[in-house]
């Protein structure tokens, strides 16, 4: 049921969501209580993805900060593009497909792309490996385990304690893929995805599931014979909840694909810009070289900007910070200040003094929206230090920089 743009859920689901958000102290709450027209509700914060409540209700959260509006198909398209770049997900089939398939929820599309990758792997061939086995058999095979054989009690059944190698598909990579298939087969409600998952479960039925995700990922082979496996590793990390920098894990027992948009936007911008730096420059993500103050010989309050642009010799020439927030270029009065945050400006001033020695150009990067289409006039900290507020277009991946900046970067 909808009321004033807000969608209501059952009381039990609301209580569960509210409790989860209050208990989750490791990450910001992905819903927050709001009051509208005298009604109490929950409003999504800066997370995107899907969460499932104990009753089976699935809530899809999509961003609203794009210039393309609120069309769910376009929003899913943009979010999936960002995830594929940041998490290095192989989305080749999606990139060459039609937007019409984006009418299904984001998690269903992610599951469909993963299953396509596994089907491609099966066509290429599931790799086997020699696995060391130990057993008790009435015949000799492989190598006799002399020590165990000598410790056999007299009168027991006459058997040999042996050790041998068997050529099996039960290897770390296949165990992780099998575990991921089982996970998505429980999550999906799409009939086509369910059918494909059942088929793949049958193919992997003789392969055990992973009992130790971390250990199996450490043993994932990068041998050339497994080159067709490489694209599936990031998918397994995502599905099996190993990709912690961008994944809110541990709060749910059911389906949960939740990504903090602040981190996703930051890493996406870094990925795009790093590919466009001209020769002689490089992009450094989240440096922590300087602190705000020194106290009794120790550095206090580390300063950690999102991005630095520096020359190959290590000379820092610009500081960039990304902000996932809607600003409005029409609110240019000294009272409204474009909806900019004063705290962000204090932070940038500190970055400029420590990283640039008070000289150069700095940039605050916000998503491009209908209300923010072009660069704002520069903000002057001093005669030698400027701050530019610029939009990043998530549709075209273009960043709008002023013409007279002190470094060279490709913007198209």
Residue-range domain boundaries for the chain: 129-168, 276-399
Confidence band for 404, pLDDT divided at 50, 70 and 90: low
Give, in degrees to the nearest 5, the angle at Cα 217 between 85 and 77.
Answer: 20
- Give the per-residue pLDDT at 86: 87
What is the pLDDT confidence band of residue 243, given thresholds at 50, 70 and 90?
very low
Q: pLDDT tens, 258-276?
A: 788 898 999 999 999 988 8
Residue 297 neighbours by CB distance under 10 Å: 5
Instruction: Dig out the tokens for 173 from the structure.
Output: 């990579």
pLDDT value of residue 92: 63
Q: What token pair was written down for 234?
A: 């990031």
The single residue listed with the structure tokens 């609120």 is 70
Instruction: State the pTM of this model.
Output: 0.79
pLDDT tens sequence across 12-33: 888 888 777 776 655 556 777 7
Segment among 31-45, 285-299, 332-346, 356-370 with least mean pLDDT: 31-45
Question: How many Å apart are CA 79 and CA 48, to the nearest integer?
Answer: 8
Q: What is the mean pLDDT of residues 288-292?
A: 87
Q: What is the pLDDT of residue 15?
A: 84
- Backbone φ and ψ for 347, nearest 5 degrees, come out as -65, -45
pLDDT of residue 66: 64
Residue 201's pLDDT is 95
Weakest mean pLDDT among 70-79, 138-147, 179-188: 138-147
Q: What is the pLDDT of residues 119-135, one digit of tens each?
A: 999 999 998 877 676 66
- Greater pLDDT, 355 or 46: 355
Provide, rounded to the nearest whole percent, the portion of the chain with pLDDT above 70.
79
- What token pair was written down for 240? 């099996």
47-52 and 256-260 beta bridge pairing: antiparallel
Query: Looking at the predicted structure, is the pLDDT value of residue 70 above 90?
Result: no
CB 393 within 8 A of CB 399: yes
**How far, CA to CA in Å, does 191 sit from each of 47, 111, 112, 194, 198?**
27, 12, 11, 5, 11
Question: Considering only CA atoms, which of 54, 72, 62, 64 is closest in space to residue 9?
Answer: 54
What local confidence, expressed as pLDDT, does residue 115 receive? 93
Dihedral over Cα of 400, 268, 94, 123: its sign: positive
What is the pLDDT at residue 254?
A: 57
State the Cα–Cα distance between residues 400 and 329, nearest whole angstrom: 14
pLDDT at 111 over 50: yes
Q: Give the per-residue SS3 of the chain.
A: CEECCEECCCHHHHHHHHHHHHHCCCCCCCEEEEEECCEEEEEECCEEEEEECCCCCEEEECCCCCCCCCCHHHHHHHHHHHHHHHCCCCCHHHHCCCHHHHHCCHHHHHHHHHHHHHHHHHHHCCCCEEEEEEEEECCCCCEECHHHHHCCCCCCCCCEEEEEEEEECCCHHHHHHHHHHHHHHHHCCCHHHHHHHHHHHHHCCCCCCCCCHHHHHHCCCCCHHHHHHHHHHHHHHHHCCCCHHHCCCCCCCCCEEEEEHHHHHHHHHHHHHHCCECCCEEEEECCCCEEEEEECCEEEEEECCCEEEEECCCCEEEEEEECCCCCCCCCCCCCCHHHCCHHHHHHHHHHHHHHCCCCEEEEEEEECECCECCCCCCEECCCCEEEEEEEEECCCCEECCCCCCCCCECCC
Q: Give residue 142's pLDDT.
A: 61
* Mean pLDDT taken over the chain: 81
Residues 49-63, mean pLDDT to the nearest whole number: 83
Among 86-90, 234-238, 331-335, the least confident range: 86-90
Instruction: Tell which wins on pLDDT, 184 or 167.
Output: 184
pLDDT tens digit string along 374-389?
A: 999 999 999 999 999 9
User: What is the average pLDDT across 228-235?
Assistant: 89
Say what the pLDDT of residue 247 is. Answer: 44
First-to-last alpha carbon distance for the chain, in angstroms, is 44
Mean per-residue pLDDT for 271-285? 87
pLDDT tens figures, 132-167: 766 676 766 667 766 776 667 676 666 777 676 676
Q: What percent of the chain lies above the pLDDT cut of 90?
A: 33
């Amino acid at each position: 049921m909808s009321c004033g743009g807000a969608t209501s859920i059952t009381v039990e689901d609301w209580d569960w969501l509210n409790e989860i958000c209050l208990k989750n102290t490791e990450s910001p709450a992905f819903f927050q209580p709001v009051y509208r027209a005298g009604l109490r509700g929950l409003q999504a914060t800066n997370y995107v993805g899907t969460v499932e409540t104990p009753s089976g209700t699935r809530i899809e959260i999509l961003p609203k900060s794009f210039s393309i509006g609120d069309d769910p198909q376009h929003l899913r398209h943009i979010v999936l593009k960002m995830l594929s770049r940041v998490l290095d997900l192989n989305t080749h089939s999606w990139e060459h497909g039609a937007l019409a398939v984006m009418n299904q929820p984001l998690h269903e599309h992610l599951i469909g792309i993963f299953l396509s990758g596994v089907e491609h792997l099966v066509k290429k061939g599931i790799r086997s490996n020699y696995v060391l086995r130990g057993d008790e058999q009435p015949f000799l095979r492989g190598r006799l385990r002399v020590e165990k054989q000598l410790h056999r009690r007299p009168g027991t059944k006459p058997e040999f304690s042996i050790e041998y190698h068997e050529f099996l598909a039960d290897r770390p990579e296949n165990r992780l893929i099998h575990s991921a298939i089982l996970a998505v087969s429980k999550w999906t409600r799409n009939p086509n995805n369910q059918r494909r998952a059942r088929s793949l479960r049958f193919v992997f039925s003789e392969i055990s599931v992973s009992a130790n995700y971390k250990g199996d990922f450490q043993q994932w082979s990068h041998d050339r014979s497994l080159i067709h496996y490489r694209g599936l590793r990031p998918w397994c990390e995502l599905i099996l909840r190993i990709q912690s920098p961008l994944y809110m894990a541990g709060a749910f027992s059911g389906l949960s694909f939740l990504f903090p948009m602040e981190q996703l936007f930051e890493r996406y911008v870094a990925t795009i810009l790093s590919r466009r730096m001209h020769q002689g420059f490089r992009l450094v993500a989240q440096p922590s070289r300087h602190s705000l103050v020194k106290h009794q010989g120790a550095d206090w309050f580390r300063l950690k900007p999102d991005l630095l642009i520096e020359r190959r010799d290590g000379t820092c020439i610009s500081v960039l910070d990304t902000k996932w927030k809607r600003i409005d270029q029409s609110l240019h009065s000294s009272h409204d200040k474009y909806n900019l945050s004063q705290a962000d400006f204090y932070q940038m001033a500190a970055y400029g003094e420590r990283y640039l020695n008070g000289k150069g150009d700095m940039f605050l990067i916000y998503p491009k929206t209908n209300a923010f289409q072009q660069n704002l006039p520069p903000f002057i900290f001093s005669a030698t230090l400027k701050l530019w507020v610029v939009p990043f277009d998530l549709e075209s991946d273009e960043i709008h920089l002023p013409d007279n900046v002190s470094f060279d970067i490709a913007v198209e």
